Amino acid sequence: MYSDKCPCTNNEKTEKIKEEFYNLLEENINQIARSDIKIILGYFNAKVGKEGKHKPTIGDGRLRNETNINGIKMIQFAISNGLNVRSTTFPHKDIHKETWYSVDGRQRTK
């Protein structure tokens, strides 16, 4: 599944709209056979931190110190549906964990 319309990409969206999105996503996940492989792609504006309690779901390869609210929602969704967040499972050098660079190269997003 892929969604480029996730309301999570806009931090100003209301919690109700984000909840509706995750409920719809869960409805779609539930329609897929349990024996099928499930892959969800999209930009959820989720920042995943180094908190140990999320380690089984997201692994060790994180650069940020704290998880933002969208990251928590994504992790909770993954846990409740038996999924893993794979973009952070494999170890990378810190220089390769940044996802956005400003034009002048001074600002980076982790």
pLDDT band at 101 (very low <50, low <70, confident <90, very high): low
Cα–Cα distances in angstroms (integers) from residue 25 to residues 5, 39, 75, in the given order: 11, 12, 14
Tell me the DSSP string of 9-22.
G-TTS-HHHHHHHH
**What is the phi/psi pair of residue 2, to 5°?**
-140, 135
Q: How large is the average pLDDT for residues 22-40?
A: 91
pLDDT at res. 16: 85
Q: Is the pLDDT of residue 75 over 80?
A: yes
Q: How high is the mean pLDDT of the chain?
A: 78
Domain ranges for the chain, please list them: 2-109
